[in-house]
Amino acid sequence: MERKVLEGRTAVVTGGAQGIGAAIARDLAAHGATVVVADLNRSGAERVGNELGGDCFGLGVDVGDEAQVAGLCTEVTARTGRWDILVNNAAIVPFTSWDAVDFREWRRIMRVNLDGVFLMCRSASDEMRKRGYGRIVNIASNAFFAGTPNMAAYIAAKGGVVGFTRALATELGTFGITVNAVSPGLTASDGVLGGPHAASFDFVQSLQAIKRRGEPEDIAPVVTFLCSEEARWVTGSTFNVDGGHVRH
Ligand code: NAD
Ligand code: 4PL
């Protein structure tokens, strides 16, 4: 999509300070949206927000904290007058053998990767319902389909995200709000490049139909499409964007 199809829309991207979220924030802004980059890393969010230009800005938020999410909602509507698009991208991406995950670690992952999606959707949908229009895109993972090792709690949370996407689409359909999910495969984000998942690139590439590394810029355009008015008839769906790793 080349046109400024998102002109006049306000979009919030969580976890937008780096990686896939930053690529999504850039693509939405390139299509004309006023983007609010929301991240636990406040300085990183402000850096990306300022870089996007226009009325875009960044702010610090922990998506797992109800009061902070409420504060974000107030600031977004006060500064831009509306809230049309939400991309739930923030997540913890662990690599821990199953039996090394205790209940505290399980809860830490659920709090951000699943509770955070609920809290953000709860806040955003109230604003979207007021205007009878909205686009919500939740970032899941193809690990949910593949059952990839060393990510059991993460995969359980992403399964919750896919299920919640289907249910919320039903609840919000009559308000002009669509809810979809995008499932990336292994992607060369900042987080992955700096951690243990980077060792999996060669093996994962051997499973893909397209034999190269997935980049954050491969994910963003699919999200932008689902955030556009043209995607009006698509809701409750989950799209694998992974170079043909998982054929779902
Ligand atoms: P990343 O680690 O590079 O970036 C994640 C961002 O989320 C960071 O800026 C971090 O500060 C932020 N964040 C973490 N906890 C937060 C919280 N509580 N509140 C607000 N922000 C928080 O991650 P990435 O690899 O770009 O992944 C982005 C999304 O894509 C995630 O949902 C992830 O599960 C999904 N995903 C990634 C891959 C991959 O291989 N990179 C594959 C499939 C799915
Ligand atoms: C296949 O979601 O889907 C590594 C790290 N490998 O986060 C993921 C695969 C990772 C994935 C993921």
Give the position of tokens 């289907």: 166
Ligand 1 binding pocket (C-beta < 6 A) is 14-15, 17-21, 39-41, 61-64, 89-93, 112, 116, 139, 141, 184, 186-187, 189-192
Q: Is the pLDDT of residue 1 over 90?
A: no
User: What is the distance between the alpha carbons of residues 51 and 73, in angstroms, rounded to a whole number?
Assistant: 22
Q: Read off the pLDDT of residues 9-40 as tens digits, 9 standing for 90 and up.
A: 999 999 999 999 999 999 999 999 999 999 99
> How much distance in Å is there from the Cα of 185 to the middle of ligand 2?
6
Architecture of the structural domain at 10-233: 3-Layer(aba) Sandwich (3.40)
Burial track 131-167 (b if 16+ CB lie within 10 A, e otherwise):
eebbbbbbbbbbbbbbebebbbbbbebbbbbbebbee
- For residue 3, the model assigns a pLDDT of 80
Span from the CA of 238 to the centroid of ligand 1 (angstroms)? 18
CA 18, CA 21: separation in Å to the nearest integer? Answer: 6
Q: What is the pLDDT of residue 2?
A: 63
Question: Which of 96, 150, 200 has most ligand 2 atoms within 8 Å of CB, for mutation?
Answer: 200
Give the start-to-end residue ranges of the domains of the chain.
10-233
Ligand 2 center–CA 171 separation, angstroms: 30
Dump pLDDT digits (tens) for 74-97.
Answer: 999 999 999 999 999 999 999 999
Ligand nearest to the CA of 140: 1
Q: Which residues line ligand 2 (CB under 6 A)?
A: 93, 141-143, 146, 148, 185-186, 197, 200, 204
Cα separation of 41 and 49, whole Å?
12
Q: pTM above the 0.75 mark?
A: yes
For residues 63 and 55, give the distance between their C-alpha atoms in angstroms, rounded to a whole number.
Answer: 22
pLDDT surpasses 90 at 51: yes
Q: Give the position, in ligand 1's atom list, of the atom nearest the Cα of 112.
A: 18
Atom index in ligand 2 nearest the CA of residue 245 equals 1
Nearest ligand to residue 146 Cα: 2
Q: How far is the CA of 93 from the centre of ligand 1 (A)?
A: 6
CB contact at 8 A, 93 and 142: no
CA torsion angle 214 215 218 223 (round to 10) = 110
pLDDT tens digits, 101-136: 999 999 999 999 999 999 999 999 999 999 999 999
Torsion over CA: 50, 46, 165, 147 (sign) = positive
Strands in 10-14's sheet, in edge-to-edge order, are 57-60, 34-39, 10-14, 85-88, 134-139, 177-184, 238-241
- Tell me the HSE value of 52 on the side-chain side, using a 13 A CA sphere: 30
Tell me which residue has its CA closest to atom 6 in ligand 2.
186
Residue 187 CA to ligand 2 center (angstroms) comes to: 7
Q: What is the pLDDT of residue 248?
A: 86
Catalytic residues: 154
Q: What is the mean pLDDT of the chain?
A: 98
